[in-house]
Structure 1
Amino acid sequence: METAVHHGRETAYRTVDTEEPGLCYVHGSGADHRLWVQQYANGGVALDLSGHGESEDIDADPGYEALSAYADDMLAVAEATNSRVLVGNSLGGAVCLHALLERETEFDALVLAGSGAKLGVLSRLRDWLETDFERAIAFLHEPDTLFHDPGALGSDTDGTSGTDGNDPIERSKATIRETGQEVTRRDFLSCHRFDVRDRLDEIEVPTLALCGEYDRLTPPEYHRYLAAGIPEADCEVLPDAAHLAMLEQPEDFDDAVARFLGRRFD
């Protein structure tokens, strides 16, 4: 892992060198850079937001303050790696939108994958994140939540790591446990308080809203809303996937991103 030093802290990231500026991948709540192993292996950079993976934590209240700190992490890594395209999943999408709306930035494109302009979190999930962390983790791994069909997901899918086993569901659960209850709860509360529905027309970069057809956390209608509100945006829905389409259908996910970038820049 490499690190970017900024604002008195270090943000860890993993990158694969490419000859041209690449993509910067931003994970979602409770996750870390390993969510994107199928993507950054082909060129790009994936970071650990503060308090996740190997990055130092910050003292920030959930909501705007935490999103601002996470945006600092992302922008520092993007600058260090000359990344020109942002790809954010869920909370990571909120971080990308926050940066584009609140900071002076110059990026070429944006991919919002399993995200939205408003990211309300179910009240029972918020309660479990405070009082019963294991119940929250179990809920997130029910069908059509993080994964469409957890029981059918092949053991050769890499990405959310955290154990020595090959079961991607157990790896996903282990990663959330590693992140811990406090930081994971901060993530979800930051999502819950995020709402930029009235500012989508301020997004000036070409955008792809990309999701799995079975995603209950950020369903397809969230992405159609993004595509309708952002001036230069496309929407694509991937079959046989839920919230973590980049893990369930990595080839389809990568192809969708490549088609989008090809349409916009070739």
Structure 2
Amino acid sequence: MLSLQPQLVLLPGLAADDRMWRGVLPLLPAALRPTVATAHQDASLHSLQDIAAQLLARHAGPLVLAGASMGGMVAMEAARQAPGRLAGLALLGTTARPETAEMRALRESAIALFEQGRVREVIEPNVALAFHPANAARPELVQAYLDFVLDAGAAQLIRQNRAVIHRPDARLHLPRVACRTLVVCGEADQLTPPECSRELAALVHGAELHVLPDCGHMLTMEQPEAVGQLLLRWLDALQAG
């Protein structure tokens, strides 16, 4: 039984940082001391397993983890490594499945371009995959996305893509997750389609599933208020026991 007040840690996606959570963070309860994880930016870490271990080492005590995209993969790995430390798990726009051969080939091609310094050439077309079409037409949203991905730089993009390529199959351990779990995705998510979230929710006993309309993969940016409200209701239920 976890007796201490847990800390809420938000885990960004691939090449993302606190800017991915900017619209959600102010909506979250201060009592949970919400913070955005940075372990994934550590240049010495080359696998999701190592990133999750570093995350657990940096944040002591019981945790509520909310991970988006790659951040969700790290959160699931942290749940495998330290199930007794998790008071809650929120998985947003992510998947428990291992990498497919098709996606591995696409990532390897992107890595080859990153190694040549052709980052913008890869990232700009990715906007159409990352956002719902209506949101991909919002210049301020697209620019915010491009800013943090381009700021991450080629080395981080290469390292994190390789970590995602070699991620473990989280479906093997998710049925053992015992903490309250929230699963959210955008109905138009092209990178981790809703079927991935439905599978996640089915694997974790008692998991709560929400599919957001008119939303793509970047749900914390596309619909921060809706995501924030879902997290708040879930956190209230979690704290109520």
Matches within 5 A, 1:31-42: 31-42=16-27
1:229 aligns to 2:203 (yes or no): yes
Whose RCO is larger (CA < 8 A, sep 6+)?
A: 2
Aligned residue in 2 for 1:30:
15
What SS class does the counterpart of residue 34 from structure 1 fall into? helix
TM-score by length of 1: 0.75
Assess, with a 3 A threshold, how the Cα gap between structure 1 residues 83 and 103 changes in structure 2: closer, same or farther: closer
Matches within 5 A, 1:171-210: 171-194=144-167, 195-210=169-184
Q: 1 or 2, which has the higher helix percentage?
A: 2
Taking the aligned partners of 2:24 and 2:7, their CA distance within structure 1 comes to 11
Taking the aligned partners of 2:218 and 2:17, their CA distance within structure 1 comes to 13
Shift of residue 139 of structure 1? 2.9
Assess, with a 3 A threshold, how the Cα gap between structure 1 residues 152 and 134 changes in structure 2: closer, same or farther: closer
Matches within 5 A, 1:137-216: 137-142=123-128, 145-149=129-133, 150-153=135-138, 167-194=140-167, 195-216=169-190
CA-to-aligned-CA distance 1:132-167 (integer Å, 9 cap, x gap): 43232023211xx221134443x6xxxxxxxxxxx2
Aligned residue in 2 for 1:129:
111
Please point out which of 16, 32, 45 is paired with 2:35: 45
Instruction: Give the counterpart letter for 2:106 in structure 1.
Output: R
Structure 1 contact 24–83 (Cα < 8 Å) conserved: no
Shift of residue 193 of structure 1? 2.2
What SS class does the counterpart of residue 256 from structure 1 fall into? helix
Assess, with a 3 A threshold, how the Cα gap between structure 1 residues 146 and 152 changes in structure 2: closer, same or farther: same
Taking the aligned partners of 2:51 and 2:35, their CA distance within structure 1 comes to 16
What are structure 1's unaligned runs of at least 5 residues? Answer: 1-19, 52-56, 156-166
Shift of residue 119 of structure 1? 5.1
Question: Once the two structures are aligned, what percentage of the paired residues are identical?
Answer: 27
Instruction: Give the counterpart letter for 2:212 in structure 1.
Output: L
Name the count of aligned residue pairs: 222
Instruction: Give the counterpart letter for 1:186 in structure 2.
Output: R
What SS class does the counterpart of residue 151 from structure 2 fall into? helix
Shift of residue 78 of structure 1? 3.0
What SS class does the counterpart of residue 39 from structure 2 fall into? coil
What are structure 2's unaligned runs of at least 5 residues? Answer: none
Assess, with a 3 A threshold, how the Cα gap between structure 1 residues 83 and 136 changes in structure 2: closer, same or farther: farther
Taking the aligned partners of 1:35 and 1:189, their CA distance within structure 2 comes to 21
Structure 2 contact 19–148 (Cα < 8 Å) conserved: no
CA RMSD in angstroms, aligned pairs only? 2.2
Aligned residue in 2 for 1:54:
none
Aligned residue in 2 for 1:6:
none
TM-score by length of 2: 0.82
